[in-house]
């Protein structure tokens, strides 16, 4: 009897096990085997070919590659904004547990801005030139929160503008009254109105001067930390990636050829295309010498056999010309799509 009481006291005094699950350990964005095809008069072009990656809350991923590699197509596919003759053939885009590909058109409309938002490349072309900034922001909120009061909508819009370092007076202005950098920050403010879990920024600094580029990137970084969203930055500027993102994904001919941390990418790139991109960056050793990648990116309608990069690769092997490389996951989680690393998977 005494032993039973002693055991009961021991059980009561021991700390209870927590049933809480650490959500930060799970990806907030999970893209699986995404494939997008364009059907043209010249034939079928695969713009996205079996693309998979994941992001946790607060992580920043940079997607780089030459023009036509599929970066913007990936962003539009995640937003379900691919237009005819394009079509999402297969795959999943899971945000916060919901597969966006499976949602109805109305459900997807509600998911935009609330779950996933898109900051477009050209702010000048994205804002309606004849409607005030405030009216455009109010329309975005009303489309998702029709029951919110007028004062609540106004406060939400003003807070969003202030979070991107814009004065409240911008609310009553037309787009033509703003500079290029201010227009870009308005697009960011609209993108974070409903505090989405994922923010996609498609070359947000492409038409801006260097000083304004810095301001816009600092703005994105600040608001991302405020709402703890995952950010995807699409661009060509490797220097910008080095300063801003946590991970880098390199795209070529519709495939992700390497995904790793930004430090790994700049100190030890593995894929030959990643190495070629890094070698194109100016440095003190090759001062005054312009170094590019030989050849041109292939047409998606006429991809070479085997690895799509093999005609331009300095490390090409016989197998590269006949057999398509599979994805290899190396130690530390780095992903490389190259025959040189298939045996290390």
Same domain, 275 and 237: no
Which among 243, 163, 173, 239 is positioned nearest to 195, based on CA atoms? 163
Rounded to an integer, what distance in angstroms lies between the CA atom of residue 14 and that of residue 34?
A: 48
Q: Using the predicted structure, report yes or no on whether residue 151 has a pLDDT greater than 60.
A: yes
Q: Is residue 127 part of a domain?
A: yes
Asked if the structure places residue 261 within a domain, the reply is no
**25 has a pLDDT exceeding 90:** no
Cβ atoms of 250 and 258 closer than 8 Å: yes
3-state DSSP assignment of residue 38: strand
The reply to whether 190 and 157 lie within a common domain is yes
Q: Do 214 and 275 fall into the same domain? A: no
Confirm whether 18 is domain-assigned: no
The verdict on residue 239 lying in a domain is yes
How high is the pLDDT of residue 159?
A: 94
Nearest to 79 by CA among 202, 183, 248: 202
Residue pointed to by tokens 């998979």 = 52
- The separation between CA 236 and the C-alpha centre of its own chain, rounded to angstroms, equals 13
55: domain CATH number is: 3.40.50.300
Cα–Cα distance for residue pair 220/118, rounded to 1 Å: 12
217: nearest Cα among 195, 237, 197, 198: 237
Q: Which domain holds residue 308?
A: 269-284+303-345
Residues 329 and 214 in one domain: no
Which pLDDT value is given to residue 296?
A: 87
Let me know: does 38 contact 211? Beta carbons within 8 Å.
no
Residue 164 sits in the same domain as residue 225: yes
Tokens of 32: 């699986």
Question: Mean pLDDT highest for which of 14-28, 141-155, 293-307?
Answer: 141-155
87 neighbors 77 (Cβ within 8 angstroms): no
Average per-residue pLDDT for the chain: 87
Domain identity same for 99 and 238 = yes
d(CA 320, CA 310): 6
CA–CA distance from 69 to each of 17, 168, 299 (Å)? 49, 40, 10
In angstroms, what is the C-alpha Rg of the chain?
Answer: 24
| pTM (predicted TM-score) | 0.87
Q: DSSP H helical segments within 128-271, as ranges? A: 133-144, 150-163, 180-191, 210-227, 238-244, 262-267
Per the structure, the count of domains in the chain is: 2
Same domain, 206 and 69: yes
Q: Over 70: is that where the pLDDT of 13 sits?
A: no
With respect to residue 295, please indicate whether it lies within any of the assigned structural domains.
no
Report the SS3 class of residue 62: strand
Q: Are residues 225 and 324 in the same domain?
A: no
Q: Is the pLDDT of residue 206 over 80?
A: no
What is the reported pLDDT for 84? 87
pLDDT of residue 344: 42
Pair 28, 90 in one domain: yes
Average of per-residue pLDDT across 79-95 = 93
Q: How confident is the model at residue 295 (pLDDT cuts 50, 70, 90)?
A: confident
323 is a domain residue: yes
Answer yes or no: is 172 within a domain: yes
Same domain? 227 vs 309: no
Q: What is the mean pLDDT of residues 133-154?
A: 94
Query: Is the pLDDT reported for residue 7 higher than 70?
Result: no
Q: Which residues face 258 on adjacent strands? A: 250, 336
Q: Does 260 fall in a domain?
A: no
* DSSP helix/strand/coil, 240: helix
> In the 8-state DSSP scheme, what is residue 18?
P
- pLDDT tier at 79 (50, 70, 90 boundaries)? very high
Tokens at 211, concatenated = 């000083």
* 33 closest CA partner among 15, 47, 52: 52
pLDDT the model gives residue 12: 42
Residues 326 and 194 in one domain: no
328-329 sheet: strands from edge to edge = 116-119, 198-202, 230-234, 60-64, 247-252, 255-261, 335-336, 328-329
Residue 33 shares a structural domain with residue 92: yes
Residues listed for the chain: 345
The number of CA neighbours under 13 Å toward the Cβ of 151 is 0
Per-residue pLDDT at 345: 35
């Amino acid at each position: 009897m005494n032993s039973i009481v002693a055991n009961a006291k021991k059980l009561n005094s021991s700390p209870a096990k927590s049933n809480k699950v650490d959500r930060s350990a799970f990806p907030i964005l999970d893209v699986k085997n995404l494939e997008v095809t364009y059907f043209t008069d010249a034939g079928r072009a695969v713009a996205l070919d079996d693309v998979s990656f994941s992001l946790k809350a607060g992580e920043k991923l940079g997607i780089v590659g030459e023009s036509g590699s599929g970066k913007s197509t990936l962003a539009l596919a995640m937003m379900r904004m691919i237009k005819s003759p394009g079509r999402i053939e297969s795959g999943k885009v899971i945000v916060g547990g919901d597969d966006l590909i499976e949602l109805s058109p109305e459900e997807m409309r509600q998911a935009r801005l609330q779950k996933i938002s898109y900051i477009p490349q050209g702010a000048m072309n994205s804002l309606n030139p004849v409607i005030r900034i405030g009216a455009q922001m109010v329309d975005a909120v009303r489309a998702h929160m029709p029951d919110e009061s007028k004062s609540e909508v106004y406060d939400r819009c003003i807070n969003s503008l202030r979070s991107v370092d814009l004065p409240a007076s911008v609310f009553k202005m037309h787009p033509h009254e703003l500079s290029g950098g201010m227009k870009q920050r308005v697009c960011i403010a609209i993108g974070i109105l409903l505090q989405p879990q994922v923010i996609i920024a498609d070359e947000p600094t492409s038409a801006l001067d260097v000083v304004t580029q810095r301001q816009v990137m600092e703005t994105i970084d600040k608001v991302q930390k405020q709402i703890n969203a995952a950010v995807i930055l699409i661009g060509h500027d490797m220097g910008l990636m080095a300063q801003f993102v946590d991970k880098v994904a390199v795209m070529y001919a519709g495939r992700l050829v390497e995904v790793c941390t930004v430090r790994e990418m700049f100190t030890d790139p593995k894929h030959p295309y990643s190495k070629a991109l890094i070698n194109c960056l100016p440095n003190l050793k090759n001062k005054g010498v312009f170094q590019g990648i030989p050849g041109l990116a292939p047409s998606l309608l006429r991809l070479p056999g085997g690895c799509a990069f093999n005609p331009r690769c300095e490390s090409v092997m016989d197998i590269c010309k006949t057999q398509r490389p599979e994805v290899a996951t190396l130690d530390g989680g780095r992903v490389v799509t190259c025959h040189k690393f298939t045996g290390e998977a």
